[in-house]
Amino acid sequence: MPMPMPAPESPLEALLAASGDLAFHLSGTGAVTYAAGLDTAAGFGPAGSAVQSFFELFAPEDQSTVREAFDEAIGASKRVPLNVALRPEFTTRFRWLLSGYDAGARRGVMAVGHQIPDEEATTTDPGMHDVLTGLPNRLLLQDRCEQAIELGNRQGSSFALLLLNLKGFNKVNEAFGVRAGDELLRQVAKRLLSHVRSSDTVARIGPDEFALLMPDMADPETMLKLGRQLLALTEKAFILEDTEVHVSASMGFSLYPAHGLSHEALLQGATAALKDAKDAGGSRCSMFNNAPRPDARAQLTLESALHQGVTNGELYLHYQPLVDIEGQIYGAEALMRWNRGGTVPVSPAEFIPVAEECGLIQLLGNWALKAATAGFARINREKNMALTISVNVSPRQFRGANFLQTVADALAFSGLPPHLLQLEITEGILMTDPEAAARLLAKITEIGVQVAVDDFGTGYSSLAYLKRFALSSLKIDRSFVKDLPAPKDLAICRSVFSLSHELGLKSVAEGVETQEQWHILRDAGCDAIQGYFFGKPQSLSDFEALVDAQALPQMKAA
Ligand code: C2E
Ligand code: MG
Ligand code: MG
């Protein structure tokens, strides 16, 4: 039975009247046992005063969402936000907060409705909404995010901010026209909305970028799982003009309060996570990684020191022997070295990514290619040998407009026969834009140059690319070699070697440090070896001396 309303002049009523808010006490079944603010809440009128059950306030299609929030509030005795519009006859919009309690016989929910100002509630407000999809835009998302932070500060609640970037949207625009592109975005928006709770906000914040704000989300695992579901949803075929169209997506998210306490920090975190997902090849969902990132200022200093280093000639190449399975040298890999300020060695693992980021890699990579081919052409001439030189190629260098020409120039300039040049690329290069990579690799192979996949096994699980691209070798990563004869590593090595043979590729093992590893690899079917056991990266003259002496461990061991 509804409880009598308090006199309008009671302090609670006066407060609620001033704020335009509403408060209900509801039984465990949702019956209204107490209500305050009803007669003053704008747009509520007599229809609202007669309400017996909280659920009556909402349209039939929203009943399940409301019940879910209601049950969740009672079940977990916690505060659950609810952002569902009331039935159309109630003109005011409220953002609800349901606080449940369950003490055996006494179960119930306190429902507080906070009035949403008109300008924010109008879904067609173009200032706050994306005209194409009708979704909230960046501004409204920020506002909601700030409100969620406020709520979090007061009540200790959490939430997630996820960014989703579509890949392939531009291709759809180009192939089918802008109208089809628009339709694709609307369909993506619809799919996202259909999957999330109504208390979540789905926003469109860029031409091919969406954002999701998800209240009460604190668990990284749950969020990653949800991310994978959203990914699957986005990557399911779309039908545009009777044609099946596929796009893919990358996602990154941050959690409040774990990853930041302001909208700006959370957005930065989600953006960094999105970048991680893209860098890892896309089609995945990444969480913001709190691990300290290289500080941007230090990065900049390193970048300018690297520029300086290039000018001052602080960079040079070392050469690490490549040996056949019997231990005979057949070539070397060129590895870049930098002595910062002429004295302090900096690892390539540290400066190559910086060079990649700032674009210097084009210059450095092309220089390495020219210097290495020139050096080996000379050695081969002088020694009447046919040693192979293997040169690493970075993603940016590979994608650069003139890469093929640079390779051809290096060969022409040095006079090295093309089949004695090998380019080492990583799996990531192949997967970023497979069609373009396949075309370029075909041309590289056409001029006779060999291509090896470096660090094989650390990138992607898809092996489909092995048959698709023109390749000559697989260099199995050091991580599978270093613990040999560990049975699992051995099993991986064996399958990579037999896969290589089946596909007509040469298999090379990196990071061989002991005779035992060498012999195990030989018995497992590996074709060639590289590692400290046969020679560290060294100067060209030391490498030449090693070739002359063939002072190799297999001779000592024999
Ligand atoms: P990578 O191409 O996989 O080169 C092999 C790395 O393993 C080298 O590290 C080499 O010194 C190291 N290594 C070889 N044998 C052993 C061993 O037995 N034990 C151990 N612990 N390590 C071994 P480095 O010289 O530090 O180079 C690291 C990475 O930097 C290279 O990995 C490559 O990805 C990149 N890099 C080096 N030079 C160039 C270059 O000229 N251009 C580009 N784009 N990347 C380069
Ligand atoms: Mg390499
Ligand atoms: Mg490698």
pLDDT digits (tens, 9 = 90+) for 95-117: 788 888 888 778 889 988 887 66
Determine the distance separating the centroid of ligand 3 and the alpha carbon of 302, expressed in angstroms. 24
Between residues 545 and 358, which one has the greater pLDDT?
545
Q: What is the average pLDDT across 521-531?
A: 97
Q: Whose CA is nearest to atom 24 of ligand 1?
A: 348
Per-residue pLDDT at 370: 95
Per-residue pLDDT at 345: 92
Query: What are 318-358's pLDDT values in tens digits?
Result: 999 999 999 999 999 999 999 988 888 999 998 998 888 88
Residue 446 has pLDDT above 80, yes or no: yes
Phi, psi torsion values for 481, nearest 5 degrees: -100, -35
Q: End-to-end alpha-carbon separation of the chain, Å?
A: 98
Query: What are 64-76's pLDDT values in tens digits?
Result: 778 988 988 888 7
Nearest to 205 by CA among 263, 276, 255, 278: 263
Calpha distance 158→266 (Å, rounded): 12
Determine the distance separating the centroid of ligand 2 and the alpha carbon of 454, expressed in angstroms. 5
Largest CA-CA distance found in the chain, in angstroms, rounded: 106
> Of all atoms in ligand 1, which is nearest to the CA of residue 532?
18
Residue 489 has pLDDT above 90, yes or no: yes
Confidence of residue 173 (pLDDT cuts 50, 70, 90): confident
Mean pLDDT of the chain: 86
Residue 27 has pLDDT above 80, yes or no: yes
Q: Which residues contact 85 (CB under 8 A, 6 or more apart)?
A: 59, 62, 93
Determine the distance separating the centroid of ligand 2 and the alpha carbon of 553, expressed in angstroms. 23
Pocket test for ligand 1, best of 362, 392, 393, 513 (most atoms within 8 A of CB): 392
Which H or E run contains 371?
Answer: helix 360-383
Determine the distance separating the centroid of ligand 1 and the alpha carbon of 392, expressed in angstroms. 9
Residue 558 has pLDDT above 50, yes or no: no
How many other C-beta atoms can be found within 10 angstroms of the C-beta atom of residue 147?
18
Q: Whose CA is nearest to atom 5 of ligand 1?
A: 510
Ligand at minimal distance from the CA of 458 is: 3
Calpha distance 228→286 (Å, rounded): 10
Q: Whose CA is nearest to atom 21 of ligand 1?
A: 511
Residues with CB under 6 A from ligand 1: 320, 335-336, 347-349, 352, 365, 368, 392-394, 424, 454-455, 478, 510-513, 530-532, 537
Confidence of residue 43 (pLDDT cuts 50, 70, 90): low
> Of all atoms in ligand 1, which is nearest to the CA of residue 512?
18
> Of all atoms in ligand 1, which is nearest to the CA of residue 355?
44
Helix axes 360-383, 296-311, angle to 10 degrees: 40
Query: What are 370-419's pLDDT values in tens digits?
Result: 999 999 999 999 999 999 999 999 988 898 878 999 999 999 999 999 99
Phi, psi torsion values for 128, nearest 5 degrees: -115, -5
Q: Letter for the amino acid at 315? A: L
Ligand at minimal distance from the CA of 352 is: 1
Whether the Cβ atoms of residue 537 and residue 335 lie closer than 8 Å to each other: yes
